[in-house]
Amino acid sequence: MNPTIASSVREALLDRFLRYVQIDTESDPNSTTYPSTEKQFDLLRLLRDELIALGVPSVRLEEKGYVMAQIPATPGYEDRPALGLISHVDTSPDFTGRGVRPQIIEYYDGTPIPLGDDAMLTVQEFPELLEVLEHTLITTDGTTLLGADDKAGVAEIMETVRYILEHPELPHGRICIGFTPDEEIGKGVDYFDVEAFDADFAFTVDGSREGELEYENFNAASARVVATGRSIHPGSAKGKMINAIEVIYLLHASLPHYARPEFTEGYEGFYHLMHFTGGVEYAEAEYIIRDHDRTLFEEKKALMERVAGEINAAYKREVIKVEIRDSYYNMYEQVAPHEEYIERAKAAMLRAGVTPRISPIRGGTDGARLSYMGLPCPNLFTGGANFHGKYEYASLDTMCRSVETLVYLLTETAE
């Protein structure tokens, strides 16, 4: 790592991250407001104020909970592409983010890390910890999540801004900064104004392990399945009863058994039964459908609809309905024509001493939706891991390398 960048950001980055994670910003999937929780503004306002204090000339906090800022290009570099960095401030509702009390392990030597009375962070259960041996780790105390998803990314962007502004000798094109709410509940860019953000290309800083550069993600859809039955006393049900539970079971059993999350990895897609409720008279199920390949994705959706049609034909009436709604698509289709930015990100990592780790996202990001809104937006690593629960941790060393990567990504310095 460049010793100048390392010495300038390490302590400030740690302090900033610790301050941010102690602000409760949990989002709420059941809310009808936007953002979904008012408390997200506690961090959003702080970020706005800190950006202004750093000397960023153009900063605004929008009513819908977006902080947007721009740093003008260095004179003579106005013709360079405008690059954006985006992170989200909310934490997952899967586990509480209130009262976060981080533990700091100054030198991780591989021994188990206690997380309260009933949990341990161990190499045996989480072998990726071997990648952060000798690092400084920040963990939970076992009672909350940590919030590295994505306050690690937020802190890294803020430190990158501070470093660049304090080093005017580093020339750069226009830099666009965005902080968003409600990413964890799938609504992070519902009101994001791509035109106002005004970047040619952007990166979400919302990944995990060191070196991650992700520009492929699932095509995604949700499916709501409703079965309507006919309840008859079981003693006289022959030829009369239609059991809605059995109807949905017929559909579920007709889907490929091994095309499920617990049997798939890498580029393999799946059907995932998320929720089921009901009885003989009425039953309802919710699925998500995922595949990286657009053709296979469409085939998966078509299979559910075809099976439903076959079931209805067998019963000689409509006993089952399948409603499928697309959620987002693989960003690769939008990013691929801009290979120069991917190469630029790889080069920045290598300069920071980071080995690029190109991998598909088995999920989605705000970047996937933004890519189809006209802003190609791959994802970069943050150094956090085990998100959304008590086993979450972050490597300060990797966080510092993230900042260095971002500095090299945004600036025009020669090697």
Q: CA of 405: how far to CAs of 76, 82, 347, 376, 402, in Å?
A: 23, 17, 9, 19, 5
**293 catalytically annotated:** no
CA–CA separation, 272 and 356 (whole Å): 31
Whether the Cβ atoms of residue 245 and residue 279 lie closer than 8 Å to each other:
yes
Q: CB neighbours of 62 closer than 8 A, spacing ≥ 6? A: 68, 191, 193
How many Å from the N-terminal Cα to the C-terminal Cα in the chain?
13
Q: State how far the Cα of 228 lies from the Cα of 250, in Å rounded to an integer.
A: 13
DSSP string, 132-150: GTTS-EEE--SSS---HHH
- Active-site entry in 90, 366, 397, 404: 90
CA distances from 31 to 35, 132, 248, 312, 375 (A): 9, 38, 30, 36, 28
Tally DSSP H helices, then E strands, for the chain. Answer: 10, 18
Angle between helices 3-21 and 396-410 in degrees, nearest 10: 120
- Tokens representing 69 are 């800022």
Q: Is 339 a catalytic residue?
A: no
Residue 289's alpha-carbon distances to 77, 134, 321, 324, 395, in angstroms, are 45, 40, 16, 9, 33
Q: How many residues does the chain have?
A: 415
Q: Are β-strands 357-358 and 212-214 bridged in parallel, bridged antiparallel, or unpaired?
A: parallel
Enumerate long-range contacts of 105-113, CB under 8 Å, 24 or more apart. Answer: 105/136, 105/137, 105/138, 105/139, 106/136, 107/134, 107/136, 108/132, 108/133, 108/134, 108/135, 108/136, 108/137, 109/133, 109/134, 113/137, 113/139, 113/393
Q: Are 58 and 69 in contact (CB under 8 A)?
A: yes
* Catalytic hit among 149, 150, 182, 183: 183
Bridge partners, residue 349, by sequence: none
Structure tokens at 201: 């290309």
CA 373 to chain CA mean position, Å: 17
- What's the one-letter identity of residue 59? V
What residues act catalytically?
Answer: 90, 183
